[in-house]
Structure 1
Amino acid sequence: MITRSTALIVGAGFGGIAMAVELQRRGIDDVVVLEKAADLGGVWRENTYPGAGCDVPSPLYSFSFTGATRWPRRYAGQPDILAYLRRVAREYGVTGRIRFGREVASAEFDETTARWLVRTTGGEEYETTAFIPAVGQLSRPAYPDIPGRDTFRGTAFHSAEWNHDCDLAGKRVAVIGTGASAIQFVPQIRPRAGHLTVFQRSAQYILPKRDHSYDRWYHAPLRTVPALQKLDRLGFWLYAEFAQACLSRWQAFTPVFSRQAAKHLRAQVADPWLREQLTPDYALGCKRVLFSNDYLPALTSPAVDLVTDDITAITPEGVRTADGTLHEADVIIYGTGFAAQDLLAPMTINGLGGRELAETWRDGARAHLGITVPGFPNMFLMYGPNTNLGGSSIVYMLESQARYIRDAVAMLRSRPGRYLDVRPEVEHAWDESVQRRLARSVWTRCRSWYRAAGGRVVSNWPGRTREYRTRTRRVHLADFRVGSASPHPSWPARTGAAD
């Protein structure tokens, strides 16, 4: 039996919830959300490692339509963010639309019906007008390609798949990777582990985390005067806009942040050798800037070793480095991030004429506004290519995308049997403009997860979030070719121009 809907959303994280709420606001209730897990939350459901939290201030890392006045801290932890998402989904009627335990295997566009046929790994089939993947860029853990990784005799796991049954007390723990996750869990596990060996490929820029708890004296006026919530959010947004602009355009200001990071390092690490190992050799912002008050002090502990030699192999006993040293370990924890370049994998997606999205994106993912791809009509991406941010809240971007997609879906619902296929020249012009601007940004100056293997920056947006909100304010039909499942009196079957 096939389930039919106007819109089908894949994923129930921030993006999927934002999209479902926006469709409901427009009166589009015929929506199905497919979630492969047994609960909603996306990355905030999956990342349960010790110390997991957000490095964007809570008032900004919230939906604008329902600002939380119960955040316990300026920088919320994973349990509080997950609780917030559950509450929003419940209060806005999204939870009842989610079908849990459904992992999408494939999606195929049928030109004869102008609809998508979506199949799950369990064999269920769904037919929908608008296919909306909202799986994000950071949903699939990435493991390093190290020889012998499967030979390790101890316990090994990724930070995004934390093994809570593994008791670290007294164990020799090897941590591979020093990104955003590692700097949060390393300080938390250091007191429990017998010895910690941290393998660092490159040093990170780390700034102080201006965190503090929110008490009732903070929340009371926000609840009493709703305008204060907006003002509080506005202050954080303006600062984030400045930081984002510094990374992409106003790079004359970045030395201010570099000096702050250097001062933070000097204040927390006294040993000159260790401080040198923790000093980045690339421009600030080229990789994700991190925020922590306890990671650097954790590395100064006598029970912690920082290793900067390249890893050459994993052995049954531990980790071998290029200098020939075998670092014995009982547990290996991979803090190696996510497969950010493999957007929408492992789903198989076929558009017009059976073309495969993976083949279309073989040189790197690209999409007009980060939302639509030529040859894949009525497919609208949430958190698609070049919509990630280096210095602001992705929630703001997701809301912009959700509003744009909502209007496109409303158009399609009012014109049954039609489809919208973004024009290749429109997508090409957009991509050229974005890549030209990115070439002047800091993100092209080193290797990072922002870039594909060929060097193309496929993750980040080169401007400020306000500009993106303006560009996605409305759907321009002239950007699309309008197709029809069958001839209609008012619309030809395939027109060369938009309605």
Structure 2
Amino acid sequence: MQPDIPVLIIGAGFGGLGMAIRLKERGRNDFLIVEKGDDVGGCWRDNTYPGAACDVPSHLYSFSFERHYPWSRRFAPQAEILDYLQYCARKYAVDDRIRFNTEVCEAHYRDEDGLWSVTLSDGDTLTTRALITATGQLNRPAYPPLSGIDDFAGAHFHSARWDHGVDLTGKNVAVVGTGASAIQFVPEVAKSAGHLTLFQRSAAYVLPKPDRLYHPTEHWVMSKLPVTQTLDRLKLYTTFETRVLGFTAFKKAMVGYEWLFQRHLKKQVQDPELRRTLTPDYPMGCKRILMSNNYYDALTRDNVSVVGHGIESVTRNGLVDDTGTHHPADVIIYGTGFQATDFLSPMTITGRDGKSLNDAWRDGAEAYLGITVHGFPNLFMLYGPNTNLGHNSIIYMLESQIDYVLQCIDALDRPDVQAMEVRPEPQSRFNDRLQAQIRNTVWDQGCDSWYKTASGKNTNNWPGFTFDYRRRTRAIATDDYDFIPAKPSQGSSHA
């Protein structure tokens, strides 16, 4: 039986668009992207909070096939990254292959014909041979379980769902959380708020951000000699790649960054008590290292206070911390990150023999190369388990995965193949080695982070060089897969 859509991609962020563009370049138009939002962009469409920007340089945070883009800054702001993704969708003519405002509710694998049956939020059902998830790891906001929040009289929202209709001018604003988003929007909110109270459960390591505008002369040179932008990309990649040593084999390499952090904190925060509050009590790198030039400075403003205690409850007009102190608030903003370890939620994925992905991952998500899972034939993940980075650009990892998945799709195009499924031994062997590596990294040095599940398993980070990951994904190891033969009446084709 022929599928409705031979290749179905879930998500139109960097991963989904990159996958679609590469398929289109190969002459394939037999794919469809299903996107829950009303535009492309993924997290760069959703996160519109004040000050939103990338912490990877723009020349590196871009597709290798579309690298010569006139970025305005060394580190691109959110709106510009969204523009870039919209531009790529138009330029490579994949925008007409996207079905917007449509979520995938569930998908189940059909043993009899090797197809995935995918149920959409509008009630439609599609079948596909290759199901590719490109939903990212930072798409579902994490909300803290605050007692009494239903009694709060004011507005409250997550930074990834910013309510631009709420005027913060002169208001008492409570910010819960001090993650990567909070350090960007806190300085902006502090400019207009009457008072901003920042509730910090755990201090972050914040380094200065080497950001600046590109000079018109630089734009002229890069437009006339595109190789200069390519060389800058290579220099940035090499510089960032070496940072993995501080997370893994040579943790003492973090000493230089720790000195930079201390100097940055001391330079911007004169009050020794506030400095103590803002100094982390865990090894550098155990949690995500952040970058900002104005975060610490904002916390020294007269209209900003930092609370280094937990939140006991919420009242009608404020929050009570663990010491019993009440802090007035008209608005609460959550800077509490995302449910990063809940891969593919809230979709229900059912594989071969009725096996649920939730059951397969009850001890924490894992996959072979972060891409395929035993028991789930023809399912391919982009930015899957343990492919997140703490040191370089995720776009590089995505492109490695895209090339690998393209090879898998080629294999499924063979008329004698109905499905391909990673064998259990290679998957277990890969993940046993990976978790052993992680146990020797700074991420496993006694702190809680969004990299880990509640049980402490790190399901997010890649504990090595990105070029090693690219080497591993350069070609399919066919012995690691079972290829299910097609029935005589079956066969694959594409338009």
Structure 1 length-normalised TM: 0.96
Tell whether the 8 Å contact from 2:107 to 2:119 is kept in structure 1 after alignment.
yes
Alignment of 1:106-255 (within 5 A): 106-255=106-255
**8 Å Cα contact 1:114-1:417 kept in structure 2:** no
Q: Distance in 2 between matches of 1:415 and 1:434?
A: 35
- Contact 1:146/1:313, CA 8 A, preserved across alignment: yes
Q: SS at 2:166's partner residue?
A: coil
Distance apart, 1:247 and its partner CA: 1.1
Q: Distance in 2 between matches of 1:327 and 1:273?
A: 20
Partners of 2:20 and 2:475 in 1: CA distance:
18
Q: Which moved more, 1:391-400 or 1:148-157?
A: 148-157
User: Paired residues, what number?
Assistant: 489
> 1:164-212, CA deviations, whole angstroms, 9 ceiling, x for partnerless residues?
0000011000000000000000000111100000000011101000101
Is 1:454 matched up with 2:455? yes
- Note if contact 2:247-2:442 (Cα within 8 Å) is conserved in structure 1: yes
In the other structure, the counterpart of 2:363 is 363
| Runs of 4+ displaced beyond 3 Å | 487-490
Say if 1:6 and 1:413, in contact at 8 Å, map to a contact too: no
TM superposition shift of 1:279: 0.6
Q: Is the 8 A contact 1:58 1:74 kept in 2?
A: yes
**Which runs of 5 or more residues in structure 2 are unaligned?**
none
Partner of 1:441: 441
The residue aligned with 1:429 is: 429
SS at 2:426's partner residue? helix
- Residue 381 of structure 1 aligns to which amino acid in structure 2? M
1:47-446 matched pairs, under 5 angstroms: 47-415=47-415, 418-445=418-445, 446=447
Specify the alignment match of 2:482 in structure 1.
Answer: 481
Instruction: Quote the offset at 1:318 in angstroms.
Output: 1.4
Q: In 2, Cα distance between the equivalents of 1:51 and 1:234?
A: 27
Give the drift of 1:151. 2.0
Tell whether the 8 Å contact from 1:317 to 1:328 is kept in structure 2 after alignment.
Answer: yes
- Are residues 1:468 and 2:432 paired? no
Distance 1:485 1:334 in 2: 51
Of the structure 1 ranges 415-424 and 193-202, higher mean CA displacement relative to structure 2 is found in 415-424
1:485 Cα deviation (Å)?
Answer: 4.7
Cα 1:315–1:489 change in 2 (3 A) is closer
Shift of 1:313: 1.1
Supply the AA of the counterpart residue of 2:453. Answer: A
1:271-312 deviations in whole A, cap 9, x for unaligned? 000000001111111100000010000000110010011111
Tell me which residue corresponds to 2:19.
19
> Given residue 181 of structure 2, which amino acid in structure 1 is its aligned partner?
S
SS of 2:346's equivalent? coil
Moved more, 306-315 or 174-183: 306-315
Q: CA deviation at 1:215?
A: 2.4
The structural deviation recorded for 1:415 is 2.9
1:44-97 deviation per Cα after TM superposition (whole angstroms, max 9, x unaligned): 000000000000000000001111431000000000000000001111111111
Give the Å deviation of 1:248. Answer: 1.9
More displaced, 448-457 or 222-231?
A: 222-231
Q: CA deviation at 1:3?
A: 7.4
Superposition deviation, residue 356 in structure 1: 0.4
AA matched with 1:466:
F
Q: Which residue does the alignment assign to 2:37?
A: 37
Q: Distance in 2 between matches of 1:262 and 1:459?
A: 28
Q: Is the 8 A contact 2:10 2:34 kept in 1?
A: yes
Range moving further from structure 2, 144-153 or 382-391: 144-153
Note the C-alpha offset of 1:486. Answer: 2.4
Task: Show CA shifts across 1:430-459 (max 9, x none).
Answer: 001110100000001211000111111100
2 CA distance for matches of 1:382 and 1:255? 34
On the 8 A contact 1:170/1:193 being kept in 2, the answer is yes
Query: Which one-letter code corresponds to 1:361 in the other structure?
Result: W
For the 8 Å contact 2:68–2:226, the answer to whether it is kept is no
TM-score, length-scaled by structure 2 = 0.97
Deviation digits for residues 321-366 of structure 1, max 9, x if unmatched? 1111111100000000000011100000000001100111111100
**Letter aligned with residue 402 of structure 1:** I
Q: Name the SS for the 2:191 alignment partner.
A: coil
